[in-house]
Amino acid sequence: MRAMSAFEQAGGEPVVRAVVERFVDRVWDDPIIGFFFAGKDRARVKLHEYEHAASVLGAGVRYTGRPIAPLHRALKINAGQFRRRLAILRQELERAGLPQEVIDLWLAAQRAMEQQITDGTDCGPR
């Protein structure tokens, strides 16, 4: 018998898409980091966030977005802003009632990209 993937443990496509929907809507409207999304296509961001999450969680979905590092480095995102995004994501993962192992995997994949996304500055103590 095959072990369930983290994607399946999360509830599959409908649950992962719903988490991504809520997460993107929250960061988009966030007073601290929402300005990064001005002029962007929300549906496109949701699609690529879903693809990335599904891929990390073992769904066999391919990320089709642009390369992450150059896309984000140009935005001059600092570590505090990056942590804000992670905090919002954690809240949505917990709100959805996902298993802790899935939450840990999803967040670890995000944390692993911090150096690719941030500009090396911080806004406060870690």
Per-residue pLDDT reduced to its tens digit, 11-25: 999 999 999 999 999
pTM of the model: 0.93
Q: At 125, is the pLDDT very low, low, confident or very high (cuts 50, 70, 90)?
A: low
Take residue 66 and report the two structure tokens written for it.
Answer: 């642009």
User: How many angstroms separate the CA atoms of 121 and 112, rounded?
Assistant: 17
105-113-83-98 Cα dihedral, nearest 10 degrees: -20
Q: pLDDT digit string (tens) for 31-58?
A: 999 999 999 999 999 999 999 999 999 9
pLDDT of residue 76: 92
CATH class name, domain 8-117? mainly alpha
What is the C-alpha R_g of the chain? 14
Residue with tokens 């995102």: 77
Cβ atoms of residues 23 and 88 within 8 Å: yes
